[in-house]
């Protein structure tokens, strides 16, 4: 068993799509929030659940350009298509797969999640469009009766067509039944650590689940279920993806990829993949005039949203010139769509910032 100590993930087998996630190189394409299933553990946000909306990572999608811009912003090597239930908007999915393959080439790896059991016609269309891997998500109600459920047939056809195929489910009691079925079908199984979210917390608590600790959304016992499955069958093609991995590895590496591409000349890219810079607010002409008098190079500042953003080290050097004339602070944000600000530090507090 391979073990990722920093993130508490472990596996006997990693699908190719997961390997790219380990690099932070997979874009998440949420194609629709529509779904006819009612999984009690579904973590999809209220903003997306049951709504026919599309997002590329955090970016709302209204055109193909939105998808391509997001993929380029992180130098994506692949895309994971998710929802909702993607196959409820099959034509949209096929169009996006063709778009991504035409724009980034055959090596751009695409996997898709579905809770349905598509037949040969749909699977052939997906394969012809360029789908590389399909991950099935049966509902817990049928985990003990998967033979003859349709998933076996869909897996068989997908493999016959040359696609990677397997299961992806939350790690909870009963998962061992799906793991056994996956072994019998000679396919992989990804077990995701169960987490509390705003949309599933009530349902999880009603079923007796609790958080691992006061500072975590991780469900107690979820990791143990996966560990037991893999320990008892080390020859299986299994992978446990921890909550910590998604934050400490997958998200962090994606942010770093994006930050290194989008960073302006004066942005400092932090080890966590955020951007760090200074902000001066007030009369813009007065601010830019001051910077000009101080011989601050034009490439080290920029007017944005009615404020001037500039290199943090420049702002530190000219703090006495700024004085009380303007409001100023250091700012740290995600390099994602919308540039979510994660921290603001008043200039008079200074920074101890070393890369």
At residue 111, the 3 state secondary structure works out as: strand
pLDDT at 214: 77
DSSP H/E element including 243:
helix 243-245
Domain covering 2-258: architecture: Alpha-Beta Barrel (3.20)
Q: What band does 57 get if pLDDT is binned at 50, 70 and 90?
A: very high
Largest Cα–Cα distance in the chain?
77
Give me the residue spans of the domains in the chain. Answer: 2-258, 264-349
pLDDT at 220 over 90: yes
Q: What band does 348 get if pLDDT is binned at 50, 70 and 90?
A: confident
pLDDT at 37: 95
Burial class (CB within 10 angstroms; exposed 0-12, middle 13-18, buried 19+) of 262: middle
Q: Which CATH class is domain 264-349?
A: alpha beta
pTM of the model: 0.94
In this prediction, residues 212-232 reach a mean pLDDT of 92
pLDDT in tens, 71-94: 999 999 999 999 999 999 999 999
How many whole angstroms separate alpha carbon 171 and alpha carbon 189?
A: 10
pLDDT in tens, 286-328: 999 999 999 999 999 999 999 999 999 999 999 999 988 999 9
Question: How far, in whole angstroms, is CA 30 from its chain's centroid?
Answer: 10
pLDDT at 3: 64
pLDDT at 216: 82
């Amino acid at each position: 068993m391979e073990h990722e100590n920093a993130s508490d993930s472990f596996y006997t087998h990693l699908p190719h799509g997961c390997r790219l996630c380990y690099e932070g190189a997979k874009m998440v394409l949420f194609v629709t929030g529509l779904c006819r299933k009612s999984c009690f553990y579904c973590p999809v946000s209220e903003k997306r659940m049951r709504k026919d909306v599309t997002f590329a990572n955090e970016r709302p999608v209204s055109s193909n350009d939105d998808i391509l811009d997001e993929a380029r912003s992180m130098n994506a090597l692949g895309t994971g298509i998710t929802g909702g239930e993607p196959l409820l908007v099959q034509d949209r999915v096929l169009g996006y797969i063709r778009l991504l393959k035409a724009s980034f080439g055959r090596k751009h790896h695409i996997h898709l999640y579905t809770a349905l059991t598509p037949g040969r016609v749909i699977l052939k269309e997906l394969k012809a469009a360029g789908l590389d891997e399909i991950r099935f998500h049966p509902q817990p109600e049928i985990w003990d009766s998967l033979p003859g459920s349709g998933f076996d047939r869909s897996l068989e056809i997908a493999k016959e067509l040359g696609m990677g195929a397997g299961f992806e489910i939350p790690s909870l009691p009963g998962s061992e039944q799906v793991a056994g079925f996956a072994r019998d079908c000679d396919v992989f199984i990804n077990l995701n650590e169960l987490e509390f979210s705003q949309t599933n917390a009530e349902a999880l608590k009603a079923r007796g689940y609790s958080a691992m600790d006061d500072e975590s959304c991780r469900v107690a016992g979820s990791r143990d279920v996966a560990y037991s499955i893999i320990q008892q069958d080390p020859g299986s093609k299994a992978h446990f993806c921890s909550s910590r991995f998604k934050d400490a590895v997958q998200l962090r590496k994606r942010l770093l990829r994006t930050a290194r591409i989008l960073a302006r000349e004066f942005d400092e890219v932090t080890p966590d993949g955020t951007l760090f810079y200074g902000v001066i607010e007030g009369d813009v002409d007065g601010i830019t005039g001051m910077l000009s008098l101080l011989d601050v190079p034009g490439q080290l500042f920029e007017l944005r949203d009615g404020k001037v953003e500039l290199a943090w080290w420049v702002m530190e050097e000219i703090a006495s010139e700024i004085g009380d004339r303007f409001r100023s602070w250091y700012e740290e944000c995600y390099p994602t769509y919308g540039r979510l600000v994660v921290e603001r530090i008043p200039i008079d507090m200074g920074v101890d910032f070393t890369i």
